[in-house]
Structure 1
């Protein structure tokens, strides 16, 4: 088993940004963790190909949580590759499948009322983008402590950023895929975008929880991987 970063560069507000979805390789089967923004399908396909793998071998997609930069291209992937098994937590599944209004959309709508004239344009645009996201049914719903991928990966509940956020722990290779439970900032694990955390106190506890796993490598969606000797 191994994990590969898929660094994707994009521009937003005339600035270069990066995200780092993860590709898990186990027994010649591929599992993608998170799917980037809308219209990132071709970028993901190209990254998988450039690493010497075929997207036809993609068996699973794991979604760490409902956020536009994590589920944006999920529907496109499922439509083009319908055999892919979609995995998410019980809580996040309700938002991804459309059974409940997403926490992020509720938050964005509430924040809109407190924005100044300069911020409100972006706020309205962001809400519009969230409303454009297509709902996707979840094939496999998981909870804290569940083992998946032939018992090689343990689900770690890491609420705070969102209520049902999960991270992934791989004991055999001493690695963690953090989602947004942690970012690599100046070679340290810190909370991702605390201003957008739905519960900062829970986010702090979740960060401590994954640090306590004492992994050698943390694969962060923002900031890239962080290795400890």
Structure 2
């Protein structure tokens, strides 16, 4: 994983400490950021990158795994501050990121508002306003499943729909590393589906996990939970078995 740098960003939300893990990929020519956190996270991103000796202005490209607020909240601000950065996303996700299509997470939140208990409606309305405030960002380059990007000895695009339709993960064959985005997360030491109750297509999300077993994965980096430290293949199989057997 020599070209892979994990940016563990700790922050407080509603008095609770949270952690997200964007990733920097670096070779002799390019510095690539994978996802960029919530709105107003540029300072936290820069601080985390500098811990690896890499200032944020050194970033040349951003690969976006999907459209959710916690992954792209600072994307437009980052592009505005550093216009040279090339933004890359899956072709299905691009129009949502650019504001051409309505955010699917916003549509989901609006649809759920009517069925929320009365005491939860204010939080639901606040979340909707937050999603509505997300600044769109034009995508410079779209990618599709199976495409290999030429950096770090090759970065394979793996379309992992379910959490959102255009969700992508990245596989780096040289180090057998999967950057999972939200295809899977680490919770209490085991791999799980990210917020399965909010997955836009849970069956597709499980098919995506099955598909990951086709690659020889030794390291999994999750946006929520960081690096998975146990056997990757077994962890993916265990996740699937819990859904198949309901445990």
TM-score interval, smaller chain: over 0.9
TM, length-normalised to structure 2: 0.89
Provide the residue aligned with 1:178 in structure 2.
Answer: 180
Provide the residue aligned with 1:219 in structure 2.
Answer: 221
CA RMSD of aligned residues (A): 1.3
TM, length-normalised to structure 1: 0.96
Q: CA deviation at 1:211?
A: 3.6
**How far apart, in 2, do the equivalents of 1:212 and 1:82 lie?**
37
Provide the residue aligned with 2:44 in structure 1.
Answer: 43
Question: For each residue in 1:46-91, what CA deviation from the matched residue of structure 2 results, as whole angstroms up to 9, or x when unmatched?
Answer: 1111211132321100100000000000011000000000000111
User: Given the alignment of the two structures, is residue 132 of structure 1 paired with residue 153 of structure 2, yes or no?
Assistant: no
Provide the residue aligned with 1:17 in structure 2.
Answer: 18
Provide the residue aligned with 1:112 in structure 2.
Answer: 113
Q: CA deviation at 1:214?
A: 3.2
**How far apart, in 2, do the equivalents of 1:42 and 1:134 lie?**
18
- In structure 2, list runs of 5 or more residues that go unmatched: 232-247
**How far apart, in 2, do the equivalents of 1:119 and 1:162 lie?**
24
Provide the residue aligned with 2:28 in structure 1.
Answer: 27
**How far apart, in 1, do the equivalents of 2:230 and 2:174 lie?**
16
The 5 Å alignment of 1:79-158 reads: 79-150=80-151, 152-158=154-160
Asked if the contact 1:20/1:223 (under 8 Å) is kept, the reply is yes
Asked if the contact 1:9/1:17 (under 8 Å) is kept, the reply is yes
**How far apart, in 1, do the equivalents of 2:112 and 2:209 lie?**
25
Q: CA deviation at 1:186?
A: 2.7
**How far apart, in 1, do the equivalents of 2:150 and 2:192 lie?**
27
Q: CA deviation at 1:28?
A: 4.7
Q: Secondary structure at the match of 1:205?
A: helix
Question: For each residue in 1:107-138, what CA deviation from the matched residue of structure 2 results, as whole angstroms up to 9, or x when unmatched?
Answer: 01000011011211111001100111111100
Q: Secondary structure at the match of 2:137?
A: coil
Question: For each residue in 1:157-208, what CA deviation from the matched residue of structure 2 results, as whole angstroms up to 9, or x when unmatched?
Answer: 0000000000000011100000000001233222111011000000011112
Asked if the contact 1:161/1:180 (under 8 Å) is kept, the reply is yes
Q: Secondary structure at the match of 2:170?
A: strand
Asked if the contact 2:45/2:56 (under 8 Å) is kept, the reply is no
How many pairs were matched up? 229
Asked if the contact 1:216/1:228 (under 8 Å) is kept, the reply is no
Which among 169, 173, 198 is matched to residue 196 of structure 1? Answer: 198
Q: CA deviation at 1:228?
A: 4.4
- In structure 1, list runs of 5 or more residues that go unmatched: none
Asked if the contact 1:190/1:207 (under 8 Å) is kept, the reply is no
Provide the residue aligned with 2:166 in structure 1.
Answer: 164
Q: CA deviation at 1:227?
A: 3.3
